[in-house]
Amino acid sequence: MIPITPDMRKILAEIRVKEHPDDYSIIFIEPRDEEKARTLLRDLKPYFSVIYTGEEVSVVLRSSEWTKLRASFPGHREERIYRLITFDIALDLSIVGFLSVVSTALAESGVSIYALSTYLKDHILVKKQDVAKAIMVLNGLVSDAKRG
């Protein structure tokens, strides 16, 4: 376990760990299909994430939605079945080390993560079979932080 600063302890004490109930998939789409991805993915309901890098289109979306779209993207690669966990607190962009604390605690418990950040919140995806362990570890971090 990495040392947790008093400021980080305050942040952890305020967090609500939220597990989303749906199954999620992480998808690689060939860059040649970027325009098709922009068109077909634009009407998805939250939560989903699309990142275009020029070398790839990476997508995180509900597995049920991907099932409907899969045939449109030959050459795709996918990893599934994941569960989405949101850290329900607005995190300032200047905070240093939040995901380091979270990822270290989960790694020490044998849980691999795929991290996503938005402007206000951080999210992680964990394999569905690891979600109960991940929630237990994360709630433990929150409880420990509340106890001081």
Q: For residue 26, is pLDDT > 90?
A: yes
Task: Set out the domains of the chain in order of their start, with CATH numbers.
Answer: 6-21+84-147 (3.30.2130.10), 22-81 (3.30.70.250)
Global pTM reads 0.92
Cis (ω within 30 of 0) for the bond into 47? yes
pLDDT the model gives residue 94: 87
3-state secondary structure of 119: coil
Report the distance separating Cα 81 and Cα 90, nearest Å. Answer: 27
Per-residue model confidence as pLDDT tens digits over 96-140? 899 999 999 999 999 999 999 999 899 999 999 999 999 999 999
3-state secondary structure of 7: helix
Cβ pair 59, 37 in contact under 8 A: yes
